[in-house]
Amino acid sequence: MKMASDCYSCILDRAKFEADLALKTEEEKTQAVEELVDFMACHKRGIPALVGTEREKIIQRRSGGLDPYESLKADSNRLALDLLPAARKLYVESKNKLEALMRIAAAANSMEFGVKGHDFDNSTFKGKFQKTLEENLSGDLSEVDRRLSAFQNVFYLTDNAGEVVFDLFVVEKLKEMGKRIVMGSKAEPVLNDVTVQELRGMTSTEVIPTGSVVGTSLECLSSEAEKLLFDKSWLILSKGMGNFETISEYQEKLSGRLIYILRAKCSPVASALGVQRGTLVVRTI
């Protein structure tokens, strides 16, 4: 997926959000945003997630390597643990267990900071989560069911902290179906994405690094992730917009075994998926 007109302002808005978290003075913040503007001017029509990765590098370098989301990620994980019983209840009471799992996974992708037009805050999400679980889910669930029946191995690409608590619930249920699961997470802090180190402290499931960029980019892919991604015996469950933005550039290589699960939080991603902004999506490729 290439940069759309909305992407430029969204990336800059998030730069300001992160600069306020990580930098102290107005001069430091201005210089960081200006450096990003210069980069964007020289990289028109790039992939939004990779342009966003450069923003992350700028903020981290100028803050001395600080992870601006560290405390927000910890708060998100605590919030998700508080909300997990609601997800479990939905699953237990649902007649269609697969739909419940996909709904939980997609709704959890709401836990994202700094996306222009997407209203999320740890302090208010608790009151919205139940309603989010009940929203319309766009996707061919019969095809999702067919693919899960056809594949023994599942490569689960994670996205955000907080969200990953619900992913672990989904993974637990997939294991109960007899699936072998490997989870792929960020090698280093980027955005509010969960890292390999963080996730290994939360689960006994095998976790491997996918790279240290927003999404899953071929140019920055770890050897471990590349091996599973292109092994035709593995079904890929891809969480979030960053993964969609990057993987959609080479998704034809994964045809027949790729499932995107996300909330389409911005207009360009929603347009690319053919849904209204804000829709919960499960899309098979």
Domains and CATH numbers, the chain: 5-62 (1.10.8), 70-284 (3.40.50.10880)
Instruction: Say what the pLDDT of residue 97 is.
Output: 97
Q: What is the mean pLDDT of residues 224-237?
A: 97
Q: What is the mean pLDDT of residues 261-276?
A: 96
* pTM summary value: 0.94
Residue 228: phi, psi to the nearest 5? Answer: -75, -40
Instruction: Say what the pLDDT of residue 121 is.
Output: 80
Q: Residue 123: which pLDDT band, with cuts at 50, 70 and 90?
A: confident
Average predicted confidence (pLDDT) for the chain = 95
Q: What is the mean pLDDT of residues 164-191?
A: 97
28, 69 in Cβ contact below 8 A? no
Task: Tell me the per-residue pLDDT of 188-212, one tens digit each, with 9 for 90 and over.
Answer: 999 999 999 999 999 999 999 999 9
Question: Looking at the predicted structure, is the pLDDT value of residue 120 above 90?
Answer: no
